[in-house]
Amino acid sequence: MIETLHKRRVLLVIGGGIAAYKALDLIRRLRERGASVCPVLTAGAQEFVTPLAAAALAGERAHTDLFDRASEAEIGHIKLARQADAVVVAPATANLMASMAGGHAADLATTILLATTLPILLAPAMNVQMWAHPATRRNRAILEGDGIRIVGPNAGRMAEPESGPGRMAEPNEIADALERMLGLQAGDGPLVGRRVLVTSGPTHEPIDPVRYIANRSSGRQGHAIAAAAAAAGAAVTLVSGPVALPDPPGVAVVRVETAREMLAAVEAALPADIAVFAAAVADWRPEHEAGTKKIKKDGTGPAPMSLVENPDILATIARRPAGRPPLVVGFAAETDRVIEHARAKIARKGCDLIVANDVSAEGGVMGGADNAVHVIRRDGAIETWPRLGKDEVARRLVAYFAGLLAD
Ligand code: CTP
pLDDT in tens, 164-192: 788 999 998 899 889 888 877 655 688 98
Q: Which atom of ligand 1 is nearest to the CA of 313?
A: 7
Q: Is the model's pLDDT at 71 over the cut of 90?
A: no
pLDDT surpassing 80 at residue 392: yes
The DSSP H or E segment spanning 303 is none
CB 359 within 8 A of CB 335: yes
In this predicted structure, the answer to whether residue 157 has a pLDDT above a threshold of 80 is no
Q: Is the pLDDT of residue 382 over 80?
A: yes
Active-site residue, 215 included = yes
Name the active-site residue from 139, 215, 310, 371.
215
Q: Average pLDDT of 320-325?
A: 93
Residue 300 binned pLDDT confidence (cut-offs 50, 70, 90): confident
Residue intervals in the chain for CATH 3.40.50.10300: 195-406
In ligand 1, the atom with minimum distance to the C-alpha of 331 is 15
Distance of CA 102 to the CA centre of its chain: 26
Which residue's CA is the closest to the ligand 1 atom numbered 16? 332
H helix or E strand, kind and range, residue 384? strand 382-384
Phi, psi of 37, rounded to the nearest 5 degrees: -125, 130
Name the residue type at position 121.
Answer: L
- Select from 317, 331, 359 the residue to mutate for testing ligand 1; criterion: most ligand atoms less than 8 Å from CB: 331
The lowest-confidence range among 90-94, 98-102, 298-302, 375-379 is 298-302
pLDDT band at 297 (very low <50, low <70, confident <90, very high): confident
Distance 332 CA to ligand 1 centre (A): 6
* Ligand 1, residues at Cβ distance < 6 Å: 199, 259, 277, 279, 281, 283, 310, 312-314, 330-334, 345
C-alpha distances in Å from residue 228, one per residue of 57, 197, 280, 369, 392: 35, 12, 19, 16, 9
Give mean pLDDT, residues 332-350: 90
What is the 362 CA–ligand 1 centroid distance (Å)? 21
Residue 363 has pLDDT above 60, yes or no: no
Atom index in ligand 1 nearest the CA of residue 354 equals 15
Strand 9-14 with 163-167, pairing: unpaired
Q: For the range 358-362, what are the long-range contacts, defined as Cβ-Cβ under 8 Å and sequence gap of 24 or more?
A: 358/334, 359/333, 359/334, 359/335, 360/335, 360/336
Strands 195-200 and 205-206: unpaired
CA distances 98 to 12, 113, 232, 281, Å, are 18, 12, 36, 35
Mean pLDDT, rounded, for 275-295: 90
- Looking at the chain, how many residues does it have? 407
CA angle, 226 then 333 then 266, to 5°: 40
pLDDT class of 221 with cuts at 50, 70, 90: very high
Predicted pLDDT at 394:
95
Sign of CA dihedral 379, 380, 381, 386: positive
Q: Specify the pLDDT at position 2.
A: 58
What does R_g of the chain's alpha carbons equal in angstroms? 23
**Cβ neighbour number for residue 280 with a 10 Å cutoff:** 24
Start-end of CATH 3.40.50.1950 domains in the chain: 9-181
What CATH superfamily classification does 9-181 receive? Flavin prenyltransferase-like (3.40.50.1950)
Q: How far is the CA of 151 from the centre of ligand 1 (A)?
A: 28
Residue 151 confidence (pLDDT): 93
Give the domain 195-406 fold.
Rossmann fold (3.40.50)
Residue from 312, 311, 333, 229 nearest 273 by CA: 229
- Mean pLDDT of all residues in the chain? 89
How far apart are the CA of 347 and the centre of ligand 1, in A? 13
* The model's pTM: 0.60
| pLDDT score at 387 | 87
Q: What are phi and psi of 90, to 5 degrees?
A: -150, 120
Phi, psi (degrees; rounded to nearest 5) at 370: -110, 165
Please give the Cα distance from 147 to 188 (Å, whole number).
23
Q: Return the best residue to mutate from 283, 352, 355, 376 for the ligand 1 pocket (most ligand atoms within 8 A of CB).
A: 283
Site to substitute for ligand 1 among 312, 334, 336, 366, most atoms within 8 A of C-beta: 312
Confidence of residue 305 (pLDDT cuts 50, 70, 90): confident
Predicted confidence band at 320 (pLDDT cuts at 50, 70, 90)?
A: very high
